[in-house]
Chain A
Amino acid sequence: GAVVSQHPSRVICKSGTSVKIECRSLDFQATTMFWYRQFPKQSLMLMATSNEGSKATYEQGVEKDKFLINHASLTLSTLTVTSAHPEDSSFYICSAGGQGGETQYFGPGTRLLVL
C-alpha cells in the first residue's frame, strides 16, 4: 500500500517554543491531508483538513493561529504547534489518501512532549 511518513517521530520541547511536524506522502500525490491528535487512552480526533494550495479547514475548538498548517506541495503538509504548552503534549498523526470510500493511509505519528 501507499506510504505516509512523518518527521520527527518524537520531540521534546520547552513551553513557549514552536514545533514543526512534517507529513509526506512518499509514493502518491495528495491534494488533501488530515491531521489528527490522540491523547492517552483516547481515540483519534480530527484537528484539521490540509488542502494543497489553499487554506486549511479547522475543526471546531482547534485554534488556527496556534496550529499552523501549510500544504505547499502535493506530497508535503506541515503542522506547526506555536507557543507550545504542556497541554499540547499529545500524539499527532497525519493521513492522506482517496475520498469517496477509498483507503486512507496514516503516518506513524509524532509524539510531542512539552515541558
Chain B
Amino acid sequence: DAKTTQPNSMESNEEEPVHLPCNHSTISGTDYIHWYRQLPSQGPEYVIHGLTSNVNNRMASLAIAEDRKSSTLILHRATLRDAAVYYCILYGGSQGNLIFGKGTKLSVKP
C-alpha cells in the first residue's frame, strides 16, 4: 500500500490559516488523497478528498501538487475546535479499508 508522510505535530494560532502538508511519493494513478481528522475520544471524521484537482468544501481546501506526490490540507481560519489529529490517507481502487498512519497533531492556541 502506498504510504504517506506527515509531520508529527503543528501549532497554529486561532483565526489564522493552517497548512498541513503530506508527502505521498509512491502514489498510484488510482489512489485518491483523503483527509480525516480525529478529535479527542471520538471516531475519525471525513474532511476532504481529491484525485488530481484542488478541492474546496465548507471545512477545508485540498491543494494537490501537479505530480500528485504531495498535497496540503488548508484550514482557512483555525478555531479551537479544529485541534485534532489530521490523517492523510491514500485510498482507492479495490481497497476497502483505510490505512491510518500517525497523522499530524494540530494544536490551536487562543
* A pairs with B: yes
A interface residues with partner B (beta carbon < 8 Å): 1, 4, 6, 32, 34, 36, 43-46, 49, 91, 93, 95, 99-101, 103-109, 111
Q: Closest residue to A45 on the B side, CB-wise? A: B100
Complex CA–CA separation, A46 to B95 (angstroms): 13
Question: Which secondary structure dominates chain A's binding surface?
Answer: strand
Query: What would be 22 A-B contacts, judged by CB atoms less than 8 Å apart?
Result: A1-B46, A4-B43, A44-B98, A44-B100, A46-B97, A95-B43, A95-B44, A95-B97, A99-B95, A99-B96, A101-B30, A101-B31, A101-B32, A101-B34, A101-B51, A103-B46, A103-B49, A104-B97, A106-B46, A108-B42, A108-B43, A109-B42
Tally of contact residues, B, Cβ under 8 A: 27
The answer to whether B91 touches A101 (Cβ under 8 A) is yes
B99 partner residues in chain A, CB cutoff 8 A: 46
The answer to whether B92 touches A43 (Cβ under 8 A) is no
**A34 and B43 contact, Cβ closer than 8 Å, known pairs A43-B102, A101-B30, A103-B49:** no
B97 partner residues in chain A, CB cutoff 8 A: 34, 46, 49, 95, 104
The answer to whether B98 touches A104 (Cβ under 8 A) is yes
